[in-house]
Amino acid sequence: MKLKKMIGASVMSVCLLAPGAGVYTGLSVQAATTTASTTVKSADTDLPNVKILATGGTIAGSSASNTDTTDYNAGELGVETLIKAVPEMKKLADVSGEQIVNVGSPEINNDILLKLGKRINTLLASDDVDGIVVTHGTDTLEETAYFLNLVVKSTKPVVVVGAMRPATAISADGPMNLYNAVKLAANPYAKKKGVMVAFNDRIGAARYITKTNTTALDTFKSLEQGYLGGFAGESVYFSSILTKKHTTQTAFDISKIEKLPQVDILYSYQNEGRYLVDAAVEAGAKGLVVAGSGNGSMSSIAREGVKDATEEGVAVVRSTRTGSGVVTHSPSDDKDGLVSADSLNPQKARILLMLTLTKTSDPKKIQQYFDKY
């Protein structure tokens, strides 16, 4: 996509943070657009092409009551309905849709992740696609976003979006979130930023963004690094860059992967025994992530359990149940063959460990991936 196309496309202003320099430059452009048609296909053939891949979730949820924001069915409406609900998107891009699955996001599994990642790589390899938007349930959105951040092999924008209120609710947040996501995916300055999450007027890096609240609209927070930017009126602004490796910079190639290894998460608590560790190993786990207390701690008996697991070749990563912060690496991790998660929460540490186990089972090498990604 050429910049000229975007200039002809819509009203926008873009702020750029020059990497390392902390210097802002600005670009503001305006152009007339037409909005009369109810279709999303624009008459302007120079607009960027954005593909919406729909997976379900609340953004596609519906209820008989317009005040129901908790007991609706997620994953009910198809992608064409979502697109038709926001005809204003035709100012921004030529938008087309594809239904990958239509489920609540707790149903997203490894097979769906692989299918989605492969489809995105195929689409972005084509000159006909300039950006991707993935619609997704919010409950596990960060896991899919981080998976894509590690496996997409393109510098073109990939934006994951959802909603906290179903499409049928008063003040549903989905349409504006979707509009903003398309705006971001169509923006030439959104390239090379890793996979992004557009939610509630903010842009978060998939590496850092996390769901922090069960029901609130501002549930997605970027805790350890802050947001990449946001939306204000018709503007997209960027204020920081992701320093961790992502997309084209990672070692992962899913084109030949048919199945990801089983990695389970174990939550630490007082009076914790080792039987859940043993049960996970018995059930075939190739990796375990411990959602440890504080800085990744666990009871001594659970620690004995995970140490025994490592001796059986199971990779074990210490993360934290605290919700924020970095789990630091200590000499005892090296002695016991454990990996520390840096600032990855347990659910994202699981995603990275699954992918890492397709390359190595050596804890020292796994640690290097956790340090960089």
138 binds ligand SIN (CB under 6 A): yes
Burial 221-249 (b: 16+ CB within 10 A, else e): bbeebebbbbbeeebbbbebbbebbbbee
* Least gap, CB of 167 to ligand SIN (angstroms): 11
β-pair type (229-232, 202-205) = antiparallel
357 binds ligand SIN (CB under 6 A): no
Q: Residues 25 to 64: which contact ligand SIN by CB under 6 A?
A: 57-58
One of 48, 97, 104, 188 touching ligand SIN (CB under 6 A): 104
Count of residues that interact with ligand SIN, criterion CB under 6 A: 10
105 binds ligand SIN (CB under 6 A): yes
97 binds ligand SIN (CB under 6 A): no
* Least gap, CB of 87 to ligand SIN (angstroms): 23
**SS3 of residue 65 by DSSP:** coil
Residue in the shown chain whose Cβ atom is closest to ligand SIN: 137
* Least gap, CB of 70 to ligand SIN (angstroms): 10
From 31-39, 137-145, 241-249, 289-297, give the range in contact with ligand SIN by CB under 6 A.
Answer: 137-145
- How deeply is 38 buried, as exposed, middle or buried, from its count of CB atoms within 10 A (0-12, 13-18, 19+)? exposed
Q: Tell me, yes or no, if 138 is annotated catalytic.
A: no
**SS3 of residue 206 by DSSP:** coil
Alpha-carbon distances of 291 from 296, 303, 349, rounded to whole Å: 7, 12, 10
Tokens (6 digits) for 272: 């914790």
Among the listed residues 58, 247, 320, 356, the single catalytic one is 58
* Least gap, CB of 106 to ligand SIN (angstroms): 6
Residue 170 identity (one-letter amino acid): I
141-151 vs 346-356: helix crossing angle, rounded to 10? 30
List the catalytic residues.
58
Question: Which residues bind to ligand SIN, rule: CB under 6 A?
Answer: 57-58, 74, 104-105, 137-139, 162, 164
